[in-house]
Structure 1
């Protein structure tokens, strides 16, 4: 399975309090998300407001994409929502 990420801008979803972004799994788009809680817990967002989450997402983009790629690989390429606990799983904490 080949996983890359589209360079289109992430989109804030205020209803679900997530930021959506697009992964490409074998060239097919898969919309994935990261929760506001994960951005607050692991990427220093100070609130769940869009203006606080988007910079945290941008700053954490490399790690977010790495964790997302691992999750996609493990679930066969299905859409994932990255929640705070996933970043605590062994092997996913930064070195």
Structure 2
């Protein structure tokens, strides 16, 4: 399975308090998300406001994408919601 990420900017979903971004699994788009809670807990977002979560996502993008790719590989390329607890799992915590 070949996993890359689109260069499109992430899209804030204020209803679900998630930031959506696109992974490409074997060239096919798969919409993935990271929760605002995860961005606050692990990437320094000050609040759930879009102007706080977008910079946190950009700062954490390499780590977010690495964890997302690992989950996509494990789940066969299905959509992923990255929650805060996932970043606490052994091997997925930033080094």
Q: TM-score normalised by the shorter chain: which range applies?
A: over 0.9
Q: In the TM superposition, what is the alpha-carbon distance from 1:94 to its structure 2 partner?
A: 1.6
CA RMSD in angstroms comes to: 0.4
* Structure 1 alignment gaps of length 5 or more: none
- Separation in 1 of the partners of 2:8 and 2:90? 30
Aligned to 2:17: 17
Runs of 4+ in 1 over 6 A off after TM superposition: none
Q: In the TM superposition, what is the alpha-carbon distance from 1:4 to its structure 2 partner?
A: 0.1
Aligned to 1:82: 82
SS at match of 2:34: strand
Asked if 1:57 corresponds to 2:53, the answer is no
Alignment length (residue pairs):
95
Q: In the TM superposition, what is the alpha-carbon distance from 1:2 to its structure 2 partner?
A: 0.3
TM-score by length of 2: 0.99
Q: In the TM superposition, what is the alpha-carbon distance from 1:70 to its structure 2 partner?
A: 0.2
Q: In the TM superposition, what is the alpha-carbon distance from 1:17 to its structure 2 partner?
A: 0.4
TM-score by length of 1: 0.99
- Separation in 1 of the partners of 2:29 and 2:43? 25
- Separation in 2 of the partners of 1:51 and 1:18? 13
Aligned to 2:7: 7
